[in-house]
Structure 1
Amino acid sequence: MRVLLLGGTNEARRLAAGLTRRAGFDVITSLAGRVAEPALPAGRTRVGGFGGTDGLAAWLVAERIDAVVDATHPFAAEITVSAVTATTRTGVPLLVLRRPGWHEGPGDDWRRVPSLAAAADPPGERVFLTTGRDGLPIFAGDDRRWFLVRSVEPPPPPLPPRSTVLLARGPYTVEGELELMRRHAVDVLVTKDSGGEMTAAKLTAARLLGLPVVMVDRPPMPAAPAVTTVDAAETWLERLLRTGASPGL
C-alpha cells in the first residue's frame, strides 16, 4: 500500500517510523519545506507544496497513492482542506490524525480567543509569544509591550519593536520554562491550542506562576474521518490494507 503522509509533526514522525517497520506499506512523508532543517521522519520524504488542490489530486493519481493520512499541525488548515477536496475528487481514502487540544485545569487562568488577531491585545506588559513565525506581524505595531518570541528558526520581519527572539525546539521541561519566564519577568503567555506533550510545559509553568494564558482556538476542521492517536491511525491503515476498501471509523 502506497501511503502519502502529510507530516511535520511528532505524530507524523511516529507514524512513519511504525509503518516503515511493517510489511506491506510504502510510505512517503510530505513536508511543507517551511523549516530549513526539519526533523526528518523514517522512510522516504518529499519537500514542498503540491500546487494547490488540483496539483495534489494530480499527484495522488500519478503516484498511485492508496491512502492519505493528514498528520499536519492542527493550525495547518489550508492543507487539510486541500487534502479533503483532493481525496474526495480522486476517491483515495483519507484519515486525519489530530492530537487532542489542551484543556484548562484547576488553577489555570486561560483567556480563549477565536483567532490570532483576537490575541493582539494581551493582558500584560511582558509577553511570552509562542504562536509561530507567521503571526508575528499581528503584534508588530505594538510598541508598548515587550515580547519574548520563541521560534524554531529566525522569524522574518516585521517584529514587535521591543522584542527578544529565542531560537529553540521542543520538547521543553517545566523547570526550564519556569526559569525562562522568571528570568524575563514574563507576565502573560500567548499561545495556540496546538496540543501535545512536547510544548505543554509552558502551560504548567504559567499556572505555577499565576500568569494568564491567552489561548488561540484551533480553526474548524472540514468533515473527514479523524483519529487522535498514532495507534488508531495504524489500525485504520492495517484494516485498509487487509480489506482493500475504506474501513470507516
Structure 2
Amino acid sequence: MTTGFSVAVIAGTSEATDLINAMPSSYRITAFVATEYGETILQHSRCTVQVGRKDGAAFLQALQPFDAVVDASHPFATEVTRIVRSVCQSIALPYFRLGRPAVHYTYPNIRTADSKEKAATILSETAGNLLFTTGANTLSFYAANVSDFEKRAWVRVLDTPESHKVAAAVPQAHILYGMPPFSVQDTAQLIETHRIQMLISKDSGTRGGLPEKIQAAEQFQIPVLLIRSPEHGESVSATQILHQLEQLRTERGFSC
C-alpha cells in the first residue's frame, strides 16, 4: 500500500479551518489562501499553507500533485470556485465543495437581491444612510453605482493590508476597519453612531456573522438588504466530505 494521502484545501474561511482540524493525522494537507489574514486563521492547524491569489495556470501547476481537492472558499468567491473546479475536471482530480447550510430568518424587514447589480439599483432608490458589511472586494463597484455613496455610505471591512489597499483606491468612501467576530453590540453601535437606515450584507450564513447583523438591525427596526448566495445546492457538509475522502483514500490503496 502507498502512504501519504495528500489533500489540497482551498481555505480562508472558518469552515475550512474546522475541516482541516477534523482530518486524520495521516493526511498530508496543504491549504491555499489568498491573503495573509487567511494564513493567520490557520496558524494552529496541522497543514502547510500557501499564500497568494492564483489564476488557472497557477492552480493547474499547484494542484497536480494532490490526490483530492476540497474547495472550502467563501460562497461568494465564485471566480476561485470556477477556476478550481475547472482545473480539477481537466486533470480528473477528485473535487469536493464544502458548503454553508441555508438559514431562514424571522426578521420581517429583510429585502433580497440576486446580485450586487440589483442591490445597487435598490440602494440608489432608497433614501438614508447605508452600512455596507459586504467586504472590500465590492467597494469600488458600490461606490460607482450607488447614488450619493460618498455622502451616505459607511463600509465595514477587515483591518488587513489587502483591505487598506483596496480602500485607498476609493478615497471618497467612509471606511470602518475592524476584525471579526463582530458582536450584535458592535454593529448596533455603528448603526446608532452613523444614523444608519439600511444595513447591507451578503447572505453568507451563520458563520459569516449574519445573525448578529440582523439582530442589530432589528434593535433599530431598520431594513436589511441581503445579497443572495450564488451557491446552488452543489455543495456538501464537512461530515460528508470527510467520509468521501476516507472512501477515496481506501479505494486508492493508501495506508492509514
TM interval, short-chain normalised: 0.7 to 0.9
What amino acid is aligned across from residue 171 of structure 1 in structure 2? P
Q: TM-score, normalised by structure 2?
A: 0.82
1:210 aligns with 2:218: no
Change in Cα spacing, 1:51 to 1:139, as seen in structure 2 (3 Å) is closer
Partner of residue 198, structure 2: 188
Distance in 1 (alpha carbons) for counterparts of 2:10 and 2:178 = 23
Q: How many residues align?
A: 235
1:95 aligns with 2:102: no
Q: TM-score, normalised by structure 1?
A: 0.84
The structure where helix makes up a greater share of residues is 2
1:56 aligns with 2:59: yes
- Alpha carbons 2:129, 2:195 under 8 Å: kept: yes
Partner of residue 143, structure 1: 148
Q: CA RMSD in A?
A: 2.4
* Aligned counterpart for 1:227 among listed residues 227, 236, 244: 236
What amino acid is aligned across from residue 241 of structure 1 in structure 2? R
**How far has the Cα of 1:83 moved from its partner?**
1.6
**How far has the Cα of 1:5 moved from its partner?**
0.1
SS of residue in 2 equivalent to 1:8: coil
What amino acid is aligned across from residue 9 of structure 1 in structure 2? T
**How far has the Cα of 1:74 moved from its partner?**
0.5
Distance in 2 (alpha carbons) for counterparts of 1:86 and 1:140 = 34
Q: How does 1:36-75 map to 2 (within 5 A)?
A: 38-41=40-43, 42=45, 43-52=47-56, 54-61=57-64, 64-75=65-76
Structure 2 residue ranges without an equivalent (≥5):
none
Distance in 1 (alpha carbons) for counterparts of 2:242 and 2:189 = 38
Q: Which runs of 4+ in 1 moved over 3 A?
A: 34-38, 157-161
Distance in 2 (alpha carbons) for counterparts of 1:69 and 1:4 = 6
Change in Cα spacing, 1:198 to 1:172, as seen in structure 2 (3 Å) is farther
Partner of residue 170, structure 2: 159
Q: Deviations over 1:127-178 (max 9, x none)?
A: 11011112112232433641221000324344373x4311112112223322
SS of residue in 2 equivalent to 1:99: coil
What amino acid is aligned across from residue 205 of structure 1 in structure 2? A
Change in Cα spacing, 1:175 to 1:242, as seen in structure 2 (3 Å) is same
Structure 1 residue ranges without an equivalent (≥5):
none
- % of aligned pairs identical? 27
1:118 aligns with 2:114: no
Partner of residue 11, structure 2: 7
**How far has the Cα of 1:95 moved from its partner?**
0.6
Q: How does 1:163-182 map to 2 (within 5 A)?
A: 163-182=173-192
Partner of residue 252, structure 2: 244
- Alpha carbons 2:55, 2:83 under 8 Å: kept: no
SS of residue in 2 equivalent to 1:4: strand
Q: Deviations over 1:50-71 (max 9, x none)?
A: 431x43233322xx20010000
Q: Deviations over 1:111-134 (max 9, x none)?
A: 111211222242341111011112
- Alpha carbons 2:12, 2:38 under 8 Å: kept: no
Distance in 1 (alpha carbons) for counterparts of 2:243 and 2:109 = 38
